[in-house]
Amino acid sequence: KGQRYDPTPKMTMDVERRRKAIDITTLLRKGQRYDPKKAKEKQYFAKARMLRSYHTMLKHEQQPNIRSQFPDKTGDRDSDSDRQQVSNETGLTYNQSNEEDNSEMGSDSDQEDEEKPICKFFTVGKGCKNGAKCEFRHQGAAAKKLRVCKFYTSRTGCQKGQKCKFVHEGTPQVIPEAKREAAKSSMLQLWQKQQEELKAARAIKEQEAAKREKEMSEKRKYRLTQSKHLLKRTAKGQPVMKSVMSTLLDKIVKQTGLN
């Protein structure tokens, strides 16, 4: 009890090393701070790589090789003797035989489309980003989006008319000319009434302003007359006060004997 604890040099060295390690880790953390923009870019590129690998895997493993099914079409075309031989054997002309071949090719292409894997990114509402270039099969057809015109009304219609790309809800009201003229006349009457009311309000405001100016001018005149009267009274009373003050001073001098 009461003894002082002296740490060994080895212990002090261990403590210093730990402190340095903590400082280094804090510096590294500050250098590798979380940047949301970079994290978003990394996530986007990782998703793109995953989709690319998935598409390539489907292309190489699941999709059949189309070139192996059909022979190479390079080379000489059929001669006239071959065409004649085909027509004699089948009893059909060369064009009819070609049409049959084309129909068989069309059925083969339909089978190939059915054998293709289904596109996982196609939806009826949005469709596919690749569109017709997509190498996979799309089940169903994408629904066309119909947007409603915001500027169309049944009373006034749309300014663009038939050139408008958006849908117009409802049918425009066909207003006869008599009703249209009556509406115009009522609108004109309302406008004239509003103008008359505005003129009357302006006239009342002007009258009130003139009345105020008249009252202010009368007050100014009254003040001027009062100030003039005061000036006259003070000018008259100044010599009287001087004489009174002089007599008082003389009396004080006589009584005190001061010169």
Identify the sign of the CA torsion 51, 56, 57, 62. Answer: positive
Query: pLDDT tens for residues 191-225?
Result: 999 999 999 999 999 999 999 999 999 988 888 88
Please state, in angstroms and rounded to a whole number, the distance separating the CA atoms of residues 210 and 214: 6
Q: pLDDT under 50 in the chain at which residues?
A: 1, 72-78, 86-87, 94
Shared domain check, 233 and 180: yes
**Residue 79 resides in a domain:** no
**Residue 60 resides in a domain:** no
**Residue 161 resides in a domain:** yes
Average pLDDT of the chain is 72
Q: Residues in the chain, how many?
A: 259
Shared domain check, 252 and 221: yes
Residues 6+ apart with CB under 8 A from 112: 64, 66
Choose among 151, 152, 132: nearest CA to 142. 132
Shared domain check, 187 and 118: no
The overall pTM is greater than 0.75: no
The domain boundary, picked from 132, 154, 175, lies at 175
**Residue 227 resides in a domain:** yes
**Residue 101 resides in a domain:** yes
Shared domain check, 166 and 110: no
Rg (CA), the chain: 54
Please state, in angstroms and rounded to a whole number, the distance separating the CA atoms of residues 136 and 127: 13
Please state, in angstroms and rounded to a whole number, the distance separating the CA atoms of residues 106 and 98: 12
Query: pLDDT tens for residues 1-40?
Result: 455 656 676 667 777 777 777 776 776 666 556 567 777 7
3-state SS assignment for residue 127? strand
The domain boundary, picked from 96, 128, 144, lies at 144
Shared domain check, 199 and 224: yes
Identify the sign of the CA torsion 111, 118, 138, 136. Answer: negative
Shared domain check, 169 and 184: no
Residue ranges making up the domain that contains 159: 146-175
3-state SS assignment for residue 192? helix
**Residue 49 resides in a domain:** no
142 in Cβ contact with 127 (< 8 Å): yes
Shared domain check, 161 and 133: no
Neighbours of 58 (CB within 10 A): 17
Count how many domains the chain has: 3
